[in-house]
Structure 1
Amino acid sequence: MPVRTVLGTRALNRATLARQLLLDRSDLPVLDAVAHLGGLQAQEPQEPYLGLWSRLRAFEPAALSGLLTGRQVVRTHLMRRTVHLVTSDDALAWRARHEAMLRQRVLGVYRRELEGINLGELAAAGRALMADGEPRTMTELARALAARWPAPGPRALGEMVISALVPMAQLPPRGLWRTKAGVRNVLLASWLGREVADLPADSSDPVGQALLRRYLAAYGPAASADLRAWCGLAGLPAAVAAAREELVSFRDERGRELLDLPDAPRPDPDTPAPVRFLPAFDNAILGYHDRGRIIDDDHRGLSVAGERVVLVDGRAAATWRVEAGTVTVTPLGRLSRADRTAVAEQGREVALFLSDNESDGVRVATSSE
């Protein structure tokens, strides 16, 4: 596969916006949009609604809530050991491939507490406790396990079982539109009525290949390090090697090799990009190791701090929040008059969406505030 053109930051930005449905809003059904995006990060339960509103025309929150209660999408620990909203099919197909990473990430936090604990026995005990199908909070499950393993403390036990050892789903009403509810867990297979797929005994890593193609469709062109940053897996080298002949290759301005699907959209760098309001922890930013295509290095910390950002000309140019029903935008630098007007117009649309058309209040602060 010959190495091809160098893609500049602006070219990568426009490709990202197109793949992320942020260049033009899409008419995709909600389920198809969740699948295309490879899921949405969802530890903040209402944020996926904002993410889909920014990407889909005529998005109705009830459609996503209906998919959750209808068990077509599910909230579960997956990529990067964070809670993601993914299609049920993807949750079942991808969960086993993520398990080793999930274990290692929990051990990275609780290794000392879990030292000497047989994780196989802990997993079996967790499954046995959940086998009755009754939803349980992490605290309830951890206290039951602590009767057998008192030393680690309930937090370490609960985190290991729920987010790593035993595939779980977080049940509605958690994650429903405008609903506040605690986390109640149930076995993923029990909730979905289907078993988690076993990993194929294939050294080419077919599940990894599927992840690679899905990632490139929604995030490419991208480097192996970007793929790793999105899913938390170790770069999927066997999958990349097996799929390499089907892919095209570019370089970025730093000289990194970028892989891509041959027919995926790579718009002209001068394609106009509309203002977009992103939710907290949006994967359009977090889904890369090199986030420079969409956010300046000086502001990189915003993406992991839970700040909602506003894209102007495709780049993070402001943060936003809701205060007393008003959308307040704080620019990260100077905005032109035209940009401020466009931000205010889109902010009014956000306010109307969040208030069921009861308020269109928006305030764009000056960059010095």
Structure 2
Amino acid sequence: MSTAQGPVLSARALNRALIHRQLLAQRSTLSPAQAITHLVGLQAQAPNPPYIGLWTRLADFAVEDLAALVRERKVVRIALMRSTIHLVTDDDCLALRPLLAEMLARTVKGQFGRQVAGLDTDEIAKLGTELAEARTLTFAELGALMAERWAGYDANALAQTVRNLVPLVQVPPRGLWGHSGQAAHTTAERWLGRGLDTNASIDTYVRRYLAAFGPASVKDMQKWSGLTRLREAFTRLGPALRTYRDETGTVLYDLDGTRLPDPAEELPARYLPEFDNILLSHADRERIMAPEYRPRVFTSNGIIRATFLIDGFVRGLWRIDRVKEAATLVVQPFAPLARRDVAELTEEGERLLSFAASEAGRRDIRFEPVG
């Protein structure tokens, strides 16, 4: 594998590859579980976005298709990549958590280390595990119980330390469409009835990351995962990878033998949910979003707003406003849209409303400038 040479890929070529691998060029016939596996999970700070994320990617997707997987413990919600909540399959939960353990421990130390300074983190993890396996607990409940042992220490800091040191999954009804309220937790081992996969290999996830997000650089995968020092794994894969360069000269890797789509291909309009991983999984995001749009999408309080794609690129925001029995899809372009784009967004928006606001007695679509 040579990293010195390789064809140059334009931002548009990288965009087409990403859109296809993210199942957005045309709706896929994969099952929800297969799609979640292919995508290596869906970011899931809030319960509803993963449902929208699958709806926009899959043919004939229904809310119950994912809700059933959550209830049957075939997919779980757990802190993984970048120390954020992801919805992943049971197998990926048990394999990824050990691979990300060092990063998760480092992250919580940076955020809450001062509040728990002087305490033995192994003891924190041990007690947290015992408590979460005895019964499901909210973080408020877990923190209060931990503070009984370590009086005078911040209860939330204790609970968040457990969150990153112990594989805690959020149990239903958290993760079900339309359900709110505080998340309750237990350990992944207790919930799934199996132990962590300590034999999992980062090489496997390099290949899977590239299958879902490539071609990509080492820094891109590090941005997606939160891990560092991944170059060794890319080098180790050797002949299994081929190399490209982007227009700045950065070396990109891909699975050898994977064909790239035609950069000239036209792509359909798509609505993406809040926190969609397609916007969060590369160090250089120009393959999906112009830099000047980032401040409008990434808010100061950590929200990644719902966006829409025109011809594969982020071109604006959307939300659904609800008043009594009415639901209005508000579409906010960043710049004027062609008439054809408005028509396509309207047609796709009607499908979105039928899915996300099926109970509404009246459904409307309104285009307005970004506020």
TM over 0.5: yes
Contact 1:327 1:361 in 2 (8 A): yes
Report the CA distance between 1:213 and its aligned residue: 0.6
Q: Displacement of 1:263 after TM fit?
A: 3.0
Task: Please tell me whether the aligned partners of residues 34 and 40 of structure 1 are also in contact (alpha carbons under 8 angstroms).
Answer: yes
Structure 1: how far apart are the matches of 2:42 and 2:229? 20
Cα deviations by residue, 1:122-164 (Å, 9 ceiling, x for unpaired):
11111122232x11111111111112223330011000102x1
For residue 144 of structure 1, what is the aligned residue in structure 2? Answer: 145
Superposed CA offset, 1:228-280 (max 9, x none): 11111114223112112210000000110000012334100011110000000
Q: How far apart are residue 368 of structure 1 and its match?
A: 6.8
Q: How far apart in 1 are the matches of 2:68 and 2:133?
A: 26
Task: State how far apart, in whole Å, the 2-side matches of 1:245 and 1:265 are.
Answer: 16
Amino acid at match of 2:366: R
Distance 2:318 2:206 in 1: 32
Q: Which amino acid aligns with 2:167?
A: P
Q: Name the aligned partner's letter for residue 278 of structure 2.
A: A
Paired residue for 1:78? 80
SS in 1 for 2:179: coil
Q: Of residues 219, 230, 242 in structure 1, which corresponds to 2:213?
A: 219
Is the aligned partner of 1:127 residue 2:129? yes
Task: Report the Cα offset of residue 342 of structure 1.
Answer: 1.2
Q: 1:17 to 1:109 in 2, by over 3 A?
A: same
Q: Is the 8 A contact 1:96 1:196 kept in 2?
A: yes
**What SS does structure 2 have at the residue aligned with 1:267?**
coil
Secondary structure of 1:5's counterpart equals: coil
Distance 1:328 1:368, change over 3 A: closer
How many angstroms apart in 1 are the aligned matches of 2:20 and 2:237?
A: 23
Alignment partner, residue 203 of structure 1: none
Structure 1 window deviating more from structure 2 (222-231 vs 338-347): it is 338-347
Q: Which of 261-270 and 242-251 deviates more?
A: 261-270
1: CA distance, partners of 2:171 / 2:178: 15
Question: Are the structure 2 counterparts of residues 177 and 265 from structure 1 closer, same or farther at C-alpha, using a change threshold of 3 Å?
Answer: farther
Is 1:252 the counterpart of 2:224? The answer is no
> Residue 293 of structure 2 aligns with which residue?
299
1:143 is paired with a residue of what secondary structure?
Answer: helix
Provide Cα deviations, 1:29-63, integer angstroms capped at 9, x if missing partner: 11000000000000011000000000001101101
Instruction: Kindly indicate whether the alpha-carbon contact (under 8 Å) linking 2:146 and 2:158 is maintained by their aligned counterparts in 1.
Output: yes
* Deviating 4+ runs (over 3 angstroms): 357-360
CA displacement at 1:305 relative to structure 2: 3.1
Amino acid at match of 1:234: T
In the TM superposition, 1:18-167 aligns within 5 A as 18-132=20-134, 134-162=135-163, 164-167=164-167
Equivalent-residue separation in structure 1 for 2:116 and 2:239 (angstroms): 43
Counting matched residue pairs gives 360
1:239 equivalent to 2:233? Answer yes
The DSSP-based 3-state class of the residue aligned with 1:22 is coil
Q: Distance in 1 between matches of 2:174 and 2:155?
A: 22
Which 5+ residue runs of structure 2 have no aligned equivalent? none
Identity %: 39
Match of 2:172 in 1: 172
Could you tell me which amino acid in structure 1 is paired with residue 84 of structure 2? T
Q: Is the 8 A contact 2:116 2:154 kept in 1?
A: no
**Out of 327, 335, 344, which is 1:342 matched to?**
344
| Counterpart check, 1:362 vs 2:365 | yes
Note closer, same or farther for the CA distance 1:357–1:77 as it changes in structure 2 (3 Å cut). same
Which amino acid in 2 is paired with 1:218?
A
RMSD of aligned Cα (Å): 1.4
Partners of 2:123 and 2:359 in 1: how far apart?
53
Q: Secondary structure at the residue paired with 1:55?
A: coil
**Kept in 1: contact 2:47–2:178 (CA 8 A):** no
Distance 2:37 2:214 in 1: 16
In structure 1, the partner of 2:320 is 322
Alpha-carbon distance between aligned partners in 2 of 1:297 and 1:86, rounded to the nearest angstrom:
29
Q: Secondary structure at the match of 1:300?
A: helix
SS in 2 for 1:136: coil
- Using the alignment, how far apart are the partners of 2:281 and 2:350 within structure 1? 28
Supply the distance in 1 between the matched residues of 2:51 and 2:74 (Cα, whole angstroms). 16
Match of 1:228 among 215, 222, 226: 222
Q: Is the 8 A contact 1:291 1:300 kept in 2?
A: no
Q: TM-score, normalised by structure 1?
A: 0.94
Q: Contact 2:77 / 2:87 at 8 angstroms: preserved in 1?
A: yes
In structure 2, how many angstroms separate the alpha carbons of the residues matched to 1:194 and 1:238? 30
What is the 5 A alignment of 1:197-212?
197-198=197-198, 200=199, 207-212=201-206
- Aligned counterparts of 1:60 and 1:333: Cα–Cα separation in 2: 32
